[in-house]
């Protein structure tokens, strides 16, 4: 089935180079700060060329409770972080896709421990969302390279 490395020729490869031409637009809030830095760090792995593309990311962060006991007490929470992102070349949107993941959190008797676990879940989810976005951009770069 012809498997080839996505980042062939490493940092000098065409995929890594085109990733380094992407600039990530600021995203509001703490989740935005975390995701923006995670995505920028991954794309700077191939050096940082002059910026030709612009990546706009919108985040949606949800916290839902379930595992409900008879007395309606919630015993388990799930934090879902979803991103909708657009790669913009000049004025045209060349890629419009979504990424998302979730993390489970146990509701423990100390309420602050649950809040801290929700914060850690957000930090881990930010890394996962960044992985999904950068991989999808790399696939797009590889496909457009192949077409040219």
Where do contacts with another protein occur on this chain (CB under 8 A)?
1-11, 13, 16, 26, 28-30, 32-33, 37, 41-42, 44-46, 66-76, 101-117, 119-121, 124-125, 127-128, 135, 138-139, 142
Rounded Cα distance, 39 and 27, in Å? 12
Rounded Cα distance, 27 and 55, in Å? 10
Residue with Cβ nearer another protein (88 or 140): 140
Residue 36 has which token pair?
């923006």
Rounded Cα distance, 46 and 137, in Å? 14
Residue with Cβ nearer another protein (88 or 124): 124
Residue with Cβ nearer another protein (6 or 94): 6
Closest approach, Cβ 42 to another protein, in A, equals 6
Closest approach, Cβ 53 to another protein, in A, equals 18
Closest approach, Cβ 31 to another protein, in A, equals 11
- What would you measure as the largest C-alpha separation in the chain, in angstroms? 62
> 54 φ, ψ to 5°?
-130, 130
Taken in order 20, 25, 31, 37, is the CA torsion positive or negative?
positive
Residue with Cβ nearer another protein (8 or 93): 8
Dihedral Cα 33, 137, 124, 68, nearest 10 deg: 110
Residue with Cβ nearer another protein (73 or 93): 73
Closest approach, Cβ 66 to another protein, in A, equals 6
Closest approach, Cβ 89 to another protein, in A, equals 22
């Amino acid at each position: 089935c012809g498997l080839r490395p996505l980042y062939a020729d490493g940092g000098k490869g065409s995929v890594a180079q085109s990733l380094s031409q992407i600039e990530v637009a600021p995203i509001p809030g703490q989740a935005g700060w975390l995701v923006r830095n995670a995505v920028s760090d991954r794309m700077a792995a191939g050096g940082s060329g002059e910026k030709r593309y612009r990546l706009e990311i919108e985040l949606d962060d949800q916290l839902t409770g379930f595992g409900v006991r008879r007395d309606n007490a919630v015993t388990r929470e799930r934090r879902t972080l979803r991103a909708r992102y657009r790669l913009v070349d000049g004025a045209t949107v060349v890629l419009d896709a979504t990424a998302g993941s979730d993390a489970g959190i146990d509701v423990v008797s100390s309420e602050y421990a649950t809040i801290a676990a929700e914060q850690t879940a957000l930090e881990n989810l930010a890394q996962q969302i960044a992985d999904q976005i950068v991989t999808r951009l790399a696939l797009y770069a590889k496909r457009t390279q192949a077409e040219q």
